[in-house]
Amino acid sequence: MRHHSLLRCALVLLACTRLEAGQPAPGKVTEHSFEVSAKQTVPYLFSLPKEFEPSSKKKWPVILFLHGRGESRGPLSIVAKWGPPRMAQRGDNLPYILIAPQCPAESRWTDDDQQAGVLKLLDHITSKFPADTTRIYLTGLSMGGYGTWKMAAENPNRFAAVSPICGRGNPEEADKLVNVPIWAFHGTEDTAVLYRHSDEMVKAIRKAGGTKVRFTTLQHVGHNSWSAAYATPELYQWFSKHKIEEEK
């Protein structure tokens, strides 16, 4: 009996060791899923900075990335086709905790349940890893740009800076965004999501008194404005300049 007890303890310890060893390796993009409820599970890509050390007390900024419509149609790995997940996948040094959820093909990022699910995923990650919650950056392209505008408007105090790429927001909610640092990108020749949608949103925020919004117009560029946007080093420098001031 004693032999069996010792063997059982050894197996338990081995299982715990494997669980600890199963933590995502820094600098690698890994696939996961988060159960929001019995009816909703959010699949997502995740990566830690290459310099991440579990024993360190350093807290890392977070990028939450919302993909476009096309990346709903395929395996979870397709989310790494564009933007920060693609950069992480090819080995770029991104000094962020990266969260890139996948939206179901039958849904949109602007759906209330998808918005709520992503925010719960964000809460889960920031409680599990050493995330700097004063430096959470939100960005998304196309359908993800729509979702970015909506999420920022409904949670203006949650994100340190926001970058919607060729998306569309609701100008009637511009007053909610006057204090949010925003950098929008859009191509003038976009026929999938018209350029005027970003232009109208930026003008509405400025009219409401917003001074923290900037807009990059990509001349002669069609719908794919994200390749240029995410290849802009200044975007990440701009992210790093912003953090939410904690209440004293």
Instruction: Note whether residue 79 is domain-resident.
Output: yes
Q: Is the pTM of this model over 0.85?
A: yes
pLDDT in tens, 192-212: 999 999 999 999 999 999 999
Q: Please give the pLDDT value at position 22.
A: 57
List pLDDT tens digits, range 60-114: 999 999 999 999 999 999 999 999 999 999 999 999 999 999 999 999 999 999 9
pLDDT at 15: 34
Residue 93 lies in a domain: yes
What pLDDT, on the 0 to 100 scale, is given for residue 23? Answer: 74
Residue 225 contacts residue 186 (beta carbons within 8 Å):
yes
11 within some domain: no
Per-residue pLDDT at 4: 44
CATH number of the domain where residue 170 is located: 3.40.50.1820
pLDDT for residue 115 is more than 80: yes
User: Given this model, what pLDDT does residue 38 score?
Assistant: 94
* Alpha-carbon 128 to chain mean position: 16
In a domain, 1, yes or no: no
CB 228 within 8 A of CB 218: yes
Decide if pLDDT at 20 tops 70.
no
Q: Kindly report the length of the chain.
A: 248
Chain centre to alpha carbon of residue 2: 51
What is the predicted pLDDT for the residue at 24?
84
Q: Give the residue numbers spanning the domain of 215.
A: 25-240
DSSP run (H or E) holding 7: helix 2-21
Is 8 part of any domain?
no
Per-residue model confidence (pLDDT) at position 63:
98
Residue 248 inside a domain? The answer is no
- Name the domain count of the chain: 1
Question: CA 92 to CA 79: how far, in whole Å?
Answer: 16
Per-residue pLDDT reduced to its tens digit, 133-178: 999 999 999 999 999 999 999 999 999 999 999 999 999 999 999 9
CA–CA separation, 136 and 98 (whole Å)? 10
171 assigned to some structural domain: yes
Is residue 245, in this structure, part of any structural domain at all? no
Higher pLDDT, 86 or 5: 86
Distance, CA of 238 to CA of 212 (rounded, Å):
12
Q: Of 91, 75, 198, 73, nearest to 141 (Cα)?
A: 198
How would you label 180-210 residue by residue, b for 16+ Cβ within 10 Å and e otherwise? bbbbbbbbeebeebebebbebbbebbeeeeb
